[in-house]
Amino acid sequence: MRLVFPMTKNTILSVSIVLSTALALSILAKADFGTPAFAQGMTPQMHLEEGIKALKAGDSQGALIHLNAADQGISDQSAKMHLGEGIKAVKSGDQQGALMHLGAADQALGGSGG
């Protein structure tokens, strides 16, 4: 009788590990690691506007996160061209040029231009 209990204990432990692994994998499968949690559920125009705000506040890295997210969802060719030029300007440290292009992209999408 004493030998049966360790086998049952090991079986329960094995089943628990398998179930925990399955749960973890299902959670990971639903997670969106490409977009930061604060940025999920935003429209491309919202990302563009947040990118402009971040750039004006001196946060180039934060701006690029939003601008790259906006770039993935924008289909308007004029807005996409200005957004691309704005991203290049941010990367090269040209804040004034970036704001000009990002404002034009925002206007092309019907926004106020930043």
d(CA 21, CA 15): 10
Domain boundaries, given as residue ranges, for the chain? 1-31, 37-108
CATH annotation of 37-108: 1.20.120
d(CA 84, CA 108): 13
Residue 42 banded pLDDT, cuts 50, 70, 90 = confident
Q: pTM (2 decimals)?
A: 0.64
Residues listed for the chain: 114
Check: CB of residue 83 under 8 Å from CB of residue 102.
yes
Residue 36 banded pLDDT, cuts 50, 70, 90 = low
Residue 25 banded pLDDT, cuts 50, 70, 90 = low
